[in-house]
Amino acid sequence: MEFDTVIHGGTIVTPTESWQGDLGLVGGRIAGLAERLPGGARRIDATGRLVLPGGIEAHAHIAQESSSGLMSADDYYTGSVSAAFGGNSSFIPFAAQHRGQSVDAVIETYDSRAAPNSVLDYSYHLIISDPTETVLTEELPRAFARGITSFKVFMTYDLMNLGDRGMLDILTVARRHGALTMVHAENNDMVKWMNARLAAAGLTAPKYHAISRPALAEAEAINRAISLARLVGAGLFIVHVSTPEGADLVARAQASGLPIHAETCPQYLAFTRDDLDRPGMEGAKYICSPPLRDAATQAALWNHARRGTFESVSSDHAPYRFDASGKFANGAEPAYPAIANGLPGIAMRLPYLFSEGVAAGRISLQQFAALSSSNAARLFGMERKGALLPGYDADIAIWNPEETREVSLADQHDAMDYTPFEGMRLTGWPEHVLSRGETVVEAGELKAARGRGRFVARAPYRPDPNAPVEPELTPALNFGAEIRP
């Protein structure tokens, strides 16, 4: 075999083991793995380095308007560049349908934002906020046929919240087509009720954001979302789980064989609600939903990452600058409900997970590969990505596991004016990121051209074929053609 590239001498991390050897590439694909491979017009020395599957960022808000119309700071160029510096070879941001919009038009809009700009391969999860009859019966099936095989819904935010009936409709369409429904699970009325009480008491500083969205609001919504998915026999992916209560519900559902999946995010492991109480308006930098919790939560979430309750750790990169274009779009000292929700972190997801996970001895290299790449590829149907195996895309991140560096804004390469990770000392950094065999980032420099990334048509979601069906529910509802839509 004539390899065009050989990555030699590194520790190669496959789903089952790590071993020292060479990886040979042909035409952008992985073509050979062996202790020693000859040849290669291009040889990349990976001695003393880890050779990992390039990260797949499965939760990021890029060139996306929030429900109130605020545009994220990162577009598909800065967003993908920042992701690449953080060890990612591909990403799946959201294409958001706001009320009244046609899904076809939304996809066209995001294609025009992504295709000319992205340096990484990409797809979208479709956010549905308006599941009309046309959306359910025509537009979602069309999106699905183009390889957009995941739909996200919200149980909170007045302009996004679908209600239980809307969720059942989406879950049913998803089940029929083999799409995976993602859900932001927080009880909207609990939050609104808390907001009203806090407002009446004049408690509007950023720290009250955490109080307004209690753990119970997440746990209740997760329990309800799982129940709705069970009713229609659909799979479900719960995004940004932030509480032990919520994670326990997911773990219990998984233990009974249900196709329930979940992620957590670095911010819930790295920060606490005390960060919302920083001086002045600094706490606004840490406003995200669900909110930051406490140290006991962090330990419990790490346990769930280690035992596999979480199949992915995603950034939920939602970049709003610390100025009038972002956090302060509604004034210089807004009450917390008027501050844009979200933290930037697409470049820090993997360095943080590596340092505090692998280097700190909490997770193995195989778990790191699974949480950062392989599981997302499997759940979201990126069939040729997520593993260093023959035939797969040569999406590869070469890491220096020994390097310790202090996080700075300059490391982010995004469009932001702050990083919540500023000053943190992390051990283990990606040095060289390849996408389909092409170098995207090397030694701190961007090597890829704007727009080189390609749209990835994704395969259908296939729940665990061994999962038992629920005897009393499934025959009664008899899914498939009988239940419409």
Structure token digits, residue 306:
């280690």
- Nearer to Zn ion (CB atom), residue 131 or residue 233: 131
The 3-state DSSP class for residue 348 equals coil
For Zn ion, the binding residues in 59-88 under the rule CB under 5 A are none
Which of Zn ion, ligand URP, none does residue 345 bind to, with CB < 5 to 8 Å depending on kind? none
- Nearer to Zn ion (CB atom), residue 8 or residue 207: 8
CB of 342 to ligand URP, least distance (A): 3
* 263 touching Zn ion, by CB under 5 A: no
DSSP percent split of the chain into helix, strand, coil, nearest 5? 35, 20, 45
Q: Could you tell me which of 211, 193, 186 has the C-alpha nearest to residue 292?
A: 211
CA–CA distance, 334 with 328 (Å, rounded to integer) = 7
What residue number has its CB nearest to Zn ion? 8
- Which of residues 74, 169, 186, 316 is near Zn ion by CB under 5 A? 316
Which of Zn ion, ligand URP, none does residue 22 bind to, with CB < 5 to 8 Å depending on kind? Zn ion
- Nearer to ligand URP (CB atom), residue 209 or residue 432: 209
Q: Can you give the binding site for ligand URP, defined by CB under 6 A?
A: 61, 184, 288-289, 316, 318, 341-342
Which of Zn ion, ligand URP, none does residue 341 bind to, with CB < 5 to 8 Å depending on kind? ligand URP
Q: Could you tell me which of 207, 84, 126, 161 has the C-alpha nearest to residue 453?
A: 84
- Nearer to Zn ion (CB atom), residue 69 or residue 361: 69
The 190-209 site mask, x for binding Zn ion (CB under 5 A), equals --------------------
CA–CA distance, 232 with 237 (Å, rounded to integer) = 15
Q: Which amino acid is at 263?
A: E
The 270-309 site mask, x for binding Zn ion (CB under 5 A), equals ----------------------------------------
Total residues at interface with Zn ion (CB under 5 A): 5
The 3-state DSSP class for residue 19 equals strand
CB of 315 to Zn ion, least distance (A): 9
Three-point CA angle 454, 53, 80, nearest 5°: 40
- Nearer to ligand URP (CB atom), residue 12 or residue 182: 182
Structure token digits, residue 405:
């560096």
Structure token digits, residue 275:
């960060």
Q: Could you tell me which of 162, 92, 127 has the C-alpha nearest to residue 378?
A: 92
| Cα 387 from chain centroid (whole Å) | 18
Check residue 24 and report its DSSP letter.
E
CB of 316 to ligand URP, least distance (A): 5
Which residues in this chain contact Zn ion in the complex, by CB under 5 A?
8-9, 22, 184, 316
